[in-house]
Structure 1
């Protein structure tokens, strides 16, 4: 009994002595002070990024998380739980978007750091002050914006929270190099910009799904050299008028999906998804009312992408995928899907199997 108590005190002392106080600016340019590495963390968003950057061991210090964003990708969540069953035991903290996030529970868990996405921070409003008054350091990160600056900043912040600054710097540099390589080749080639349309295909062929303006897939399509037809009409995300899609006449169409959808014709992509089934779902969009006149449909330039591979440090491979889809000759040497799998091999403890990028023409 005494021996166990002494060991607990020693372990705590070692952990605290290893940590050092840092003051950083988060993505909102807020000064935030906390001990690095943090010993008790609540992960509000970006759970896979937290593991990739902080290592699997970072989850030893996670005292709660908003699980829905991971559990919504059920096959991916099951893959991780099979590898690390203790993920299931991490307490659920609730969702900001459904107003079920429990401030009281967060405070009771006595975390050092609460990591939130920008939209979560804004959604919590005055509750942020309650959390900070309880001694919790709130750090805001943001991969949703899909800018190189915020991707790098968010990666560095997670590196500081988890004590993995060197690993974070390496991952951030690799992301930056991917974007710069594509940008330089596009600038040197000086080719006409293809018009591109991206749609989240969870609703299926009969119902036009959400598209993206200046963030998420919209930003990715722009970084990859495309003329995003949704940008003039949608700021962040929303639906276009079906006639507007036809009138804009995109050269390339990319339909994104998760492992599950709302109906039998929903676009399916991701962990455990059969490529033949995914291609069959994608082909169904050729028969959408009015789409036969669209250039992308006439030329079979329809593609599928895994929606879970966006708004994450893993999405450098998706930028390559968009670039190759729009400029197949210029980027013929790229292998985006292998790049996606290689990231898992280098930085994550699981090996995904399924369909993450797809061309109708293959």
Structure 2
């Protein structure tokens, strides 16, 4: 009897052991099912080539540059944003979000907001390195989004953010819509004959320190797309220009991009001394377009390209 009891106890222990071994397999199975359902956890390779693991779909997001904020909203996830910069102004809903700083960020406030994810700009990643590390040390996932300077790089930003917030399908759709909009503008531009192409000077900051958009900028890419010549196409990036050099280049059209922040931007250009013989000024072809549409690396770039096109070629882009 004693021997039988020992055999039964041994069998129970073996079964219990089997149950213990089987339990992790069940949990692993449940985990796999959860991943298939939500897409999380995900590993995002950010602009610094760092692999950032995001365990669950972020419910609280802080965006540290307006372009990233606009992308999150365009992916129908604006409700998840709990903090933005002082410079964020679109969409209107963003004005009610907590502000976490401008040129410098309030790290303590960001940690207090308890975000699941911080979207940081690649353009300031070096200068903000210490602060971003504080966020990481607090257990917050930080994804540094690439500093986009072309349409293709913007698409990459959208893809990265879409992956990080679990909206890859919407990201793909947004990119496709942007590409289609650009394609439509390009098709319309085919009606412009080479001899009809306008030389355009784009002024992104007013006198006395005038800056323009050279090559390797969105604006240059837009001008090429719509069949216009960039008067500063031989310059690189956002370049400072001497007023006399602009007069010598004698553009057909001048476009300012700061009227949203400065009143009567076009009138200021028309009234400049020594510019009365510039073709754009003589022909009264000085226009202002919204800065955020043509310089912000977000989903509204296609809208900005269209606004540029309508200003330069009103008869073609109606």
TM-score, normalised with respect to structure 1 = 0.65
Deviation at 1:242, TM superposition (A): 0.5
Deviation at 1:184, TM superposition (A): 5.1
SS at 1:196 equivalent: strand
* Structure 1 residue 181 corresponds to structure 2 residue 184: yes
Deviation at 1:35, TM superposition (A): 3.7
Q: Does the CA contact (< 8 Å) of 1:54 and 1:162 recur in 2?
A: no
The higher relative CO (CA closer than 8 Å, separation ≥ 6) is in: 1
Deviation at 1:249, TM superposition (A): 1.0
Q: Does the CA contact (< 8 Å) of 1:63 and 1:109 recur in 2?
A: yes
* Aligned counterpart for 2:120 among listed residues 116, 123, 136: 116
Q: Does the CA contact (< 8 Å) of 2:117 and 2:140 recur in 1?
A: yes
SS at 2:58 equivalent: coil
* Shift in CA distance, 285/106, structure 1 to aligned 2, threshold 3 Å: same
Q: Which runs of 5+ in 1 are unaligned?
A: 1-13, 82-86, 268-280, 336-362
* Structure 1 residue 69 corresponds to structure 2 residue 87: yes
* Aligned counterpart for 2:229 among listed residues 201, 204, 227: 227
Q: Does the CA contact (< 8 Å) of 1:196 and 1:253 recur in 2?
A: yes
Larger Rg: 2
Match of 2:254 in 1: 253
For residues 96-155 of structure 1, what are the alpha-carbon distances to aligned partners after superposition, in whole Å with 9 as ceiling and x for unaligned? x3xx3133433444422110222132331344344334333222335752x221221222
* Shift in CA distance, 127/284, structure 1 to aligned 2, threshold 3 Å: closer
Q: Which runs of 5+ in 2 are unaligned?
A: 1-33
Over the aligned positions, Cα root-mean-square deviation in angstroms equals: 3.1
Match of 2:211 in 1: 210
Q: Does the CA contact (< 8 Å) of 1:36 and 1:160 recur in 2?
A: no
Alignment of 1:332-343 (within 5 A): 332=316, 334-335=317-318
* Structure 1 residue 315 corresponds to structure 2 residue 301: yes
For residues 208-238 of structure 1, what are the alpha-carbon distances to aligned partners after superposition, in whole Å with 9 as ceiling and x for unaligned? 54322232434433443333223434x3324
* Structure 1 residue 49 corresponds to structure 2 residue 35: no
Q: Does the CA contact (< 8 Å) of 1:197 and 1:229 recur in 2?
A: yes
